[in-house]
Amino acid sequence: MRVAIVASHPIQHFVPFYRAIAQIEGIDSKVMFCSTAGLKPYYDTVMGTEISWAMDLTSGYAHEFLPEADRMRESGRSHVRNPSVFAALSRFRPDAVVLYGYAQPTQRFALLWSKLHHKPSLMISDSFDSPRPASVSQTLRRGLLRVAFKAYSRMLTVGDRSEAMYRSYGVPSDKLFRTPFTIDEQAHLAAREGRKAANSKLRTQWGVSQDAVCFLAVGKLTERKRPMIIIDALKAALAQRPDLQGRLSVVVAGNGDQHDAIAKIASNNKLPVTLAGFVNVDRLPEFYAAADVLVHAAGYDPHPLTLSEAAAVGLPLLVSDSVGAIGPTDIAQPGRNTLPFAAGDSTDLAEKMIRLVDDADLRREMSEASMTIFDTGQNTAASVRGLRAALKSLTR
């Protein structure tokens, strides 16, 4: 079976998936990239940092860059427009087409090609229904998506909330196939094995005690990611429990427009906060390995892969309940490896942080659960199983 995959640009998290698909016997796959974004160093205006991904993004799988790719420097919804995808698909003659989302014009072009040539389309997306107040525009959007989703042959879903959204739009369960987004699995599993060494090395650099419970936050320091909630929670926890001074710390890996404000609050209040700045993908696994808990405070985030990375290494998860990766069979499972907290509520987060500092047994149980959850249902093998099952269902 020939499978075409239409993707906006090479993304570090998805490359392992493409390589795994290339190894499946009986599948001839090809990734068609709309843009060369990410291949060369670029300045991230949100983080205020020049970024050059420290990993190979293009080897190990068949791919091509569409003719417009060099001219397309951004990967936003309106920017990804490649009419040449029609000709590229016709040349490759796929038996099925995998599409990333529905918003970019090129993805819609590819969907139209699949309809015109009577080929099945499989859409993968991390969308979920966020708890936002209903509005006229959202009601209209729901109606349009209910119609649009009928055009796809199968949905490759990433989690529980994603599947719940599709069902709410009328997509039947037999069209849903769980295909978790991948990470650089080898690097993070190696970090799992090297946690003791990373703990000693990085904590010395950070000035963090080996005995302190280290909460790690990874991501852009922007309003949507709400890093300030973590700092407020740390301040509240230490005010409530002065005896925790020296027993907990926060390390922030990322940059953004809230960096200076966080640094000022941490300095003025003498908070145990380390601002590490942007951390490239080749160093991030050791950051997870040196930490004890991942905390993710975003007000809205569909399915952040920092949760999968942290779980792969063996970290318990403290996650805002507005994040779309929470669910009984997802990467963040309440009661197993995750303590959810109310989005934007620093008091609730502080209470959860105190609980984890006080209870080493709970941290150990959650750590073991994170590794089990990742190894049994969130790894690359699970992603491949989902895709293979979806493709097989098309031939019944």
User: Percent of the chain, pLDDT > 70?
Assistant: 96
Give residue-wise pLDDT tens across range 71-117.
876 666 667 999 999 999 999 999 999 999 888 999 999 999 999 99
Q: Are residues 189 and 158 in the same domain?
A: no
Check which CATH number belongs to the domain holding 26 and give it. Answer: 3.40.50.2000
Domain residues for the domain of 318 are 185-378
Q: Are residues 126 and 214 in the same domain?
A: no
Give residue-wise pLDDT tens across range 53-64.
778 999 999 999
Q: Are residues 172 and 38 in the same domain?
A: yes
Tell me the three state secondary structure of residue 83. Answer: coil
Q: Which helix (H) or strand (E) holds 65?
A: strand 63-65
Task: Find the mean pLDDT for residues 302-312.
Answer: 97
Q: Are residues 120 and 209 in the same domain?
A: no
Edge-to-edge order in the sheet of strand 176-178: 63-65, 28-33, 2-7, 96-100, 121-124, 154-157, 176-178
Q: Is the pLDDT of residue 343 over 90?
A: yes
Q: List alpha helices for the chain, DSSP H.
A: 15-22, 85-92, 105-116, 136-148, 160-168, 185-193, 195-206, 227-240, 259-268, 284-290, 305-313, 346-358, 360-373, 380-393
Give residue-wise pLDDT tens across range 212-238.
999 999 999 999 999 999 999 999 999
When divided into structural domains, the chain yields a total of: 2
Please tell me the pTM assigned to this model. 0.94
pLDDT for res 76: 65
Q: What is the per-residue DSSP string for 130-142?
A: --PPP-HHHHHHH
Mean pLDDT check: name the lowest of 70-79, 193-202, 271-280, 378-387.
70-79
Rg, Å, the chain Cα set: 22
pLDDT for res 131: 58
Q: Are residues 71 and 33 in the same domain?
A: yes
Q: CA nearest 156: which of 113, 127, 132?
A: 127
Q: Is the pLDDT of residue 278 over 70?
A: yes
Q: Are residues 216 and 158 in the same domain?
A: no
Q: Are residues 99 and 30 in the same domain?
A: yes
Tell me the three state secondary structure of residue 292. Answer: coil
3-state helix, strand, coil in the chain (%, to 5): 45, 20, 40
Phi, psi values for residue 131, rounded to 5°: -75, 65
